[in-house]
Chain A
């Protein structure tokens, strides 16, 4: 879950103190943020709140990640949702539903749809590396806030890249925590924004423990992801990231 969501949203944790390197360039800031954030493996426990004008829903999630592209997300609460799971291997995504006891591979046309009713799409999960690989980056502002240097990077899609956004702007703190990410549509109007509401410490890392994604054209609608616990680089058994484990969890 952490890797899946947060790398899409690019929230990073730096291992150790931030380097005091003067004026690094945009690619370096982003790459270092991603590198620092990418533990070889991770396991996190997360609470996801989906807020709508007429209702609010709170779900419990456990997630595992391995390397850059593999992830398993399993819902643990409420009872109605417990057992639902999403597995991502490379570019493929499968979902498991306990009521049907069935694994379904996601069709490409569903990838832009809401994931589990949230304000995140399946693309946010599965195309998490896009920001690094399919964009060019430019440092557009440097400011001081709360004792930290905060860089603002503007990322524009490379020509021909299959990206739906016009551009993305990202605010990164000097300890490699991403504070804010704004997605602009093709007309360069801000379409949605993810904000780090709270930066804390998880397993010794500076970490955005609360992140809120908000579609800007739908007032009163947002999804918040709060990380409660995490383990990094503790290794992950290979069986975790398999279709059989998706359907019949061993643990």
Chain B
């Protein structure tokens, strides 16, 4: 009965109601798109950045994160990699040896990180294999081959086919020395990588650095970051059983995580004010209509309706308005988002500039239950709580005074 009354009341002033509906629709639709867009862009950013070298997650020898030395090693990395690959969501697990060494060519020498990799598996984890500028990436049959970043190659003055000397400390404290032939030069676009990382075949690195069959880390890849994130509980259980440490993307790229958290916090401020402004506009309209209808409420009270029922009726009007507006908003915003999700959004910004931040030139929003419901949900909640104000006002009415208009 109350709901029927409320519905009738809404359409007694169709223009006002439609205007209110429109503002709720617009804002909730906008929130659906903006949240989806933000989620999509950050998702792509994370994925692109992690794809360059880290992998979507990583198993590390325990203690390696605090003290990244050869001493912290996984004894049987191949077996562990097989088990990790068996966890649903993980499609590839690549063991790595991470040594620190001097690279030298002729009179030039530079400090570098020497990473022993399994070429076939590594190429499915890291995009370095696809950014080879000169020569080629490592192949499974390579023995003394190496690929290094273009900045490192420039510093050392080496080209494809040249020899590079590796001199460092092996795991047992002896001298690790080797001579490798440059097979390829990559350009990942990340100066820190291009300046410091040389990749060589895993078996050779294990021999050079006296690692026997051990590795320091196992990089993990999957069809998407989300898939690997879903696999984290299973991987964590595996890590605990095997006495190693699991690093998720947050742990691998703490700076990126912090940047994204900061951006979310900043945009949250904007979303909250948007929701509040709209909630206030709607409330204002409703308060006006309550004032206008004081005589009507007085009559209803005189007829025997309890103040609580009248208050509930007003509140239902408000909620109906908010729900209808939000539903339309979700529908329109969601449809627009899905369409852009299929076509992608191109920004007129230099792609090279975007690439520095791991952002591709074509951006795709990512509509999810969360991004579709969070904004409109907050709006409905804000209006529902604010609606207690007119409700309280109606409760204070007495029939005699109200019928005289105040």
Interface set of A (CB-CB < 8 Å, partner B): 50, 52, 54-55, 57, 80-81, 84, 95, 97, 99-100, 102, 104-107, 109-110, 113-114, 116-118, 218
B271 near A: Cβ within 8 Å?
no
Residues of B within 8 A of A54 (CB): 71
Q: In the docked arrangement, what's the CA distance between A91 and B107, Å?
A: 17
Check if A52 sits within 8 Å of B71, measured CB to CB.
yes
**Which residues of chain A are near B165, meaning CB under 8 Å?**
100, 102, 104
The answer to whether B102 and A107 have CB atoms under 8 Å apart is yes
Query: Is B218 in contact with chain A by the CB < 8 A criterion?
Result: no
* Chain B residue nearest to A51 in the complex (CB): B173
Residue in B closest to A104 when the chains form the complex, CB atoms: B104
**Interface assignment of B175: CB less than 8 Å from any CB of chain A:** yes
Known: A52-B71, A107-B102. A117 touches B111 (CB 8 A): no
**7 pairs of residues in contact across A and B, judged by CB atoms under 8 Å:** A54-B71, A55-B172, A84-B175, A99-B177, A100-B178, A110-B111, A117-B173
> In the assembly, what is the distance between CA of A109 and CA of B175, in Å?
18
Q: Closest residue of chain B to A94, judged by CB?
A: B109
User: Please, which residues of chain A bring their CB within 8 A of the CB of B178?
Assistant: 100
Is the beta-carbon distance between A102 and B104 smaller than 8 angstroms?
A: yes
Assuming the A-B contacts A110-B102, A218-B67, are A104 and B173 also in contact, with contact meaning beta carbons closer than 8 angstroms in the complex? no
Q: Using Cβ atoms and an 8 Å threshold, which residues of chain B touch A57?
A: 172-174
Q: Shortest beta-carbon distance, B163 to chain A, in Å?
A: 10
Cβ of B249 under 8 Å from chain A = no
CB distance from A196 to the nearest CB of B (A): 23
Other than the given A95-B167, A97-B177, 5 more pairs (CB < 8 A) read A57-B172, A81-B174, A97-B175, A100-B179, A116-B175
B391 at the interface (CB under 8 A from A): no
User: Separation in Å of the B234 CB from the closest CB of chain A?
Assistant: 30
Q: Binary interface profile of B, 151-189, with partner A (CB < 8 Å = 1, else 0)? A: 000000000000001010110111101110000000000
* Docked CA distance A131–B395 (Å): 83
A105 interface neighbour in B107, B174, B179, Cβ under 8 Å: B107
Q: Which 10 A-B pairs have the closest CB atoms?
A: A117-B173, A109-B111, A117-B169, A57-B173, A104-B104, A97-B177, A110-B111, A99-B177, A107-B109, A100-B177
Closest to B168 in A: A113
Cβ distance B362 to chain A, nearest Cβ, rounded Å: 38
- Give Cα A123–Cα B212 distance, bound, in whole angstroms: 31
Confirm or deny: B33 has a beta carbon within 8 angstroms of a beta carbon on chain A.
no
B100 at the interface (CB under 8 A from A): yes
Whether a CB of chain A sits under 8 angstroms from the CB of B110 is yes
Q: Which residues of B contact A105 (CB under 8 A)?
A: 104, 107, 109
Q: Which one of B71, B165, B169, B173 has the highest number of Cβ atoms from chain A below 10 Å of its Cβ?
A: B173
B100-146 interface (Cβ within 8 A of A): 100, 102, 104, 107, 109-111
User: Would you give the shortest CB distance from B354 to chain A, in whole angstroms?
Assistant: 31
* Min C-beta distance of A216 to chain B, whole Å: 14
Residue of chain B at shortest CB distance from A52: B71
- Chain B neighbourhood of A52, CB < 8 A: 71, 173
Shortest beta-carbon distance from A14 to chain B in Å: 34
**Cα(A54)–Cα(B174), bound, Å:** 14
Bound complex: CA A187 to CA B169 (Å): 29
Whether A109 touches B110, Cβ cut-off 8 Å, given contacts A104-B102, A104-B104, is: yes
Taken together as a complex, chains A and B put the C-alpha atoms of A106 and B178 apart, in Å, by: 16
Complex Cα–Cα for A114 and B101 (A): 11
For residue A83, which residue of chain B has the nearest CB?
Answer: B175
In the assembled complex, the CB of B243 is this many whole angstroms from the nearest CB of chain A, namely: 14
Q: Which residue of A lies closest to B170 (CB)?
A: A117
A107-B111 contact in complex given A102-B165, A218-B67, C-beta closer than 8 Å: yes
Cα A117 to Cα B177 with chains together (Å)? 13
B156 smallest CB distance to A (angstroms): 10
Q: Which residue of B lies closest to A108 (CB)?
A: B111
Decide: A104 and B167 in contact? CB cutoff 8 A: yes
Residues of A contacting B173 with CB < 8 Å?
50, 52, 55, 57, 116-118
Question: In the complex, what distance in Å separates the CA atom of A117 from the CA atom of B171?
Answer: 9
| Chain B residues within an 8 Å CB radius of A100 | 165, 167, 177-179
The smallest C-beta distance from B135 to any residue of chain A, in angstroms, reads 23
CA distance A113 to B175 in the complex (A): 13
Partner of A81, one of B100, B107, B175: B175
Q: In the complex, which residues of chain A have a beta carbon less than 8 angstroms from the beta carbon of B179?
A: 100
8 Å CB interface, B67-94 against A:
67, 71
Q: Could you say which of A52, A110, A116, A118 has the most chain B C-beta atoms within 10 Å of its C-beta?
A: A110
> Residues of B contacting A99 with CB < 8 Å?
175, 177
Give the complex CA separation of A97 and B179 in angstroms: 12
Which residues of B sit under 8 angstroms from A109, Cβ to Cβ? Answer: 110-111
Nearest CB of B to A151, in Å: 35
Which residues of chain A have C-beta atoms less than 8 A from B177's C-beta? Answer: 97, 99-100
Instruction: Please give me the residue from chain A that is nearest to B210 by CB atom.
Output: A80
Give complex CA distance A112, B37 in Å: 45
Contacts of A117 in B (CB 8 A): 169-170, 173-175
B residues in contact with A95, CB < 8 Å: 102, 167
Which residues of B in the span 166-220 have a Cβ within 8 Å of any Cβ on A?
167, 169-170, 172-175, 177-179
In the assembled complex, the Cα of A143 lies from the Cα of B178 at a distance in Å of 52
Residues of B within 8 A of A102 (CB): 104, 165
Contact present for B167 and A113 (CB under 8 Å): no
C-alpha gap A52/B165 in the complex (Å):
27
The interface centre, meaning the residue of A52, A81, A104, A118 with most chain B CB atoms within 10 A of its CB, is A104
Residues of chain A contacted by B104 (CB below 8 angstroms):
102, 104-105
- Do A116 and B169 have beta carbons less than 8 Å apart? yes
Residue in B71, B104, B110, B178 with the greatest tally of chain A CB atoms within 10 Å: B104
- Rounded to whole angstroms, the CA-CA distance of A102 and B107 in the bound complex is 10
Q: A95-B167, A100-B167, A218-B67 are in contact. Are A106 and B172 (CB under 8 A)?
A: no
Complex formed: what's the CA distance from A66 to B169 in Å?
Answer: 28
